[in-house]
Structure formats: structure tokens, C-alpha cells
């Protein structure tokens, strides 16, 4: 498991995004990977004891201190150190790099 690339990064960024979104009065929506009906990108990880809760189609803003994320440091240390991860690059026939 690459604890640094997806489970850690997405959970912390999502928690910060939920707080920022709650503070912006005219924010209409935030695009995210997690949905109430699909688990195609759900980030279940034993590293997180507590994370931002998705209820139906709404993330609940935590009312406690911090971002609302608690990390099991023992589990994090068992997951291993940082490993750089980069998405694959698509290339055209001429060798140029293109978007997904």
C-alpha cells in the first residue's frame, strides 16, 4: 500500500476542501471522487481512525478542532515510507505528451 500517494493525500485534501467550502458563501459544488452510490475510488484505509463523513451526497463539516482527520501513527509506520507516485503519461504517435 502506498500510504503517502492516495489514502493520506486525498483524505487530508478532502478535509481541507470541506472546511474551505463551508466558509465560502457562494460555493455551489465541489467535484470529488467519492459518491454515495459508488465505491470506485473510495479511500478506505486502516491509517485513518477518523475522517470526513459523507452522508448521502453531502460531506459533514466536523465541529471539533482541526480538520476532522485522525491518523493511526502505528499503522502509518507499518505502511512504509514515502514512495513517489506519478500518473502515467499518454503519448501521441508523434511522441508528444497529451492529456487524459
Give the mean model confidence (pLDDT) for residues 30-44: 65
Residue 48 forms part of a structural domain? yes
DSSP label of 70: E
Number of domain units in the chain: 1
Candidates 73, 76, 88; CA nearest to 7 is 76
Higher pLDDT, 82 or 3: 82
pLDDT at 26: 93
Residue 39 forms part of a structural domain? yes
Supply the range of the domain harboring residue 13. 7-98
pTM: 0.60
**Is residue 9's pLDDT more than 80?**
no
**Residue 69 and residue 52 in contact, taking contact as beta carbons nearer than 8 Å:** yes
Angle at the Cα of 54 (from 53 to 55), degrees rounded to 5?
110
Residue 53 forms part of a structural domain? yes
Residue 56 forms part of a structural domain? yes
| Dist. CA 19–CA 15, nearest whole Å | 6
Amino acid at each position: 500500500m502506498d500510504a503517502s500517494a492516495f489514502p493520506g493525500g486525498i483524505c487530508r485534501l478532502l478535509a481541507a476542501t470541506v472546511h474551505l467550502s463551508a466558509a465560502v458563501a457562494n460555493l455551489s459544488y465541489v467535484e470529488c471522487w467519492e459518491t454515495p452510490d459508488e465505491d470506485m475510488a473510495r479511500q478506505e484505509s486502516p491509517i485513518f481512525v477518523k475522517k470526513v463523513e459523507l452522508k448521502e451526497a453531502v460531506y459533514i463539516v466536523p465541529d471539533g478542532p482541526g480538520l476532522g482527520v485522525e491518523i493511526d501513527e502505528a499503522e502509518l509506520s507499518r505502511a512504509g515510507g514515502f514512495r513517489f507516485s506519478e500518473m502515467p503519461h499518454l503519448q501521441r504517435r508523434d511522441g508528444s505528451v497529451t492529456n487524459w
